[in-house]
Structure 1
Amino acid sequence: MATSTDRIVKSVLLRASRERVWRAISDSKEFGSWFGVQFDGPFVAGASIVGKLMPTTVDAEVAKTQEPYKGFRFEFAVDRVEPMRLFSFRWHPFAVDSGVDYSKEPSTLVAFQLEDAAGGTMLTVIESGFDQIPLERRAKAFAANEGGWTAQMKLIEKYLAQDGED
């Protein structure tokens, strides 16, 4: 399989209905509880939303790794909300240094795509645009998000398994 420096692609088969997975990714409160962020409002296409990192409520081990970043503020620019199919936003990847103004940098696009699959719903997350990130932080941002999306796929799977709702 070819390796790309511009995009990260992760997929997971979730044992939940498409409707349930859609709520978990498109409702800012639900998204925040598994992802590890508290938002100041709902996700609306074309609007920006501010979030503060808060350790996930789904997994104590992951929550420990998120703890040093607790309260860190960041912004999502919600791109598209296509019910039951696609939710996407732009952000500045691995923007964790409070002394840096990332607003002048290009952002990456994160897309959550849903498809029906045997036994549940296939969720694919694609983050693209890393080749536009400044060279001095590109590799670190890519590596951090590569590992981050692997962890997030496990978190949403665990979140949906715990809530017992279909």
Structure 2
Amino acid sequence: MQNEIRKEIILKAPLEKVWAAISHADEFGQWFGVRFDGPFKASEKLRGVIVPTAVNDEIAAMQKPYEGTPFEIVVGEITPQTRFSFHWHPYGVEKDFDYSQEPMTLCTFVLSEVVEGVRLMITESGFEHIPLERRAKAFTANDGGWEAQTRLIEAYLAF
């Protein structure tokens, strides 16, 4: 099994707009489908709850059963208009399960300007540290999830 997910998309939007969409907690939440309790700040833990995305009704319907599910991220690097990262518990959607003792994976968003717009590379790594009984399910779910998220950010930026 692979231990890293990589998704890439070229976004037809200005770098500043793409950067705001990934680095501002409120904007991130609109397309991703989460409401955070504060802004992204490097090295800080942030709580959020799943809410349906505001940009795609079909994906919002898939998120609806998880609405209200809490989760935490730990913000990592914030390098303006270049890189944003956070750690989280992958596929942490079981409401009665305590994920706090499990290792987290690292989600990294890297931006680079290209002729067509802005290349967004999303990487989630560290699945080899997730407990074996959850690893394959978490990897598969997040692989599909990140594929959907590339479409969501594209739709969000098209507004």
Could you say which TM-score interval applies, normalised by the shorter chain? over 0.9
| Unpaired stretches in structure 1, ≥5 consecutive residues | none
1:96 CA displacement: 1.1
Aligned-pair RMSD on alpha carbons? Answer: 0.7
Question: Aligned letter for 1:47?
Answer: E
Q: Does 1:127 align with 2:132?
A: no
1:71 CA displacement: 0.6
Tell me what 2:42 maps to: 45
TM-score, normalization: structure 2?
A: 0.98
1:98 CA displacement: 1.6
1:100 CA displacement: 1.4
| Unpaired stretches in structure 2, ≥5 consecutive residues | none
Tell me what 1:5 maps to: 2
2:97 to 96, 100, 109: 100
Tell me what 1:88 maps to: 85
1:29 CA displacement: 0.4
Q: Does 1:112 align with 2:109?
A: yes
CA deviation profile, 1:55-80 (whole Å, cap 9, x unmatched): 00000000000000001100010011
Separation (CA, whole Å) in 2 of partners of 1:121 and 1:96 = 31
1:157 to 147, 154, 158: 154
SS at match of 2:136: helix
> Percent of aligned pairs with the same residue?
52
Separation (CA, whole Å) in 2 of partners of 1:102 and 1:75 = 10
Separation (CA, whole Å) in 1 of partners of 2:87 and 2:107 = 6
Q: Does 1:31 align with 2:4?
A: no
TM-score, normalization: structure 1?
A: 0.94
**Hey, which bits of structure 1, 4+ residues long, moved more than 6 A?**
none
Question: Aligned letter for 1:122?
Answer: R
Separation (CA, whole Å) in 2 of partners of 1:73 and 1:97 = 10
What is the aligned residue count? 159
Separation (CA, whole Å) in 2 of partners of 1:119 and 1:137 = 39
Separation (CA, whole Å) in 2 of partners of 1:104 and 1:52 = 19
Tell me what 2:64 maps to: 67
CA deviation profile, 1:71-113 (whole Å, cap 9, x unmatched): 1100010011110000000000001112211111110000000
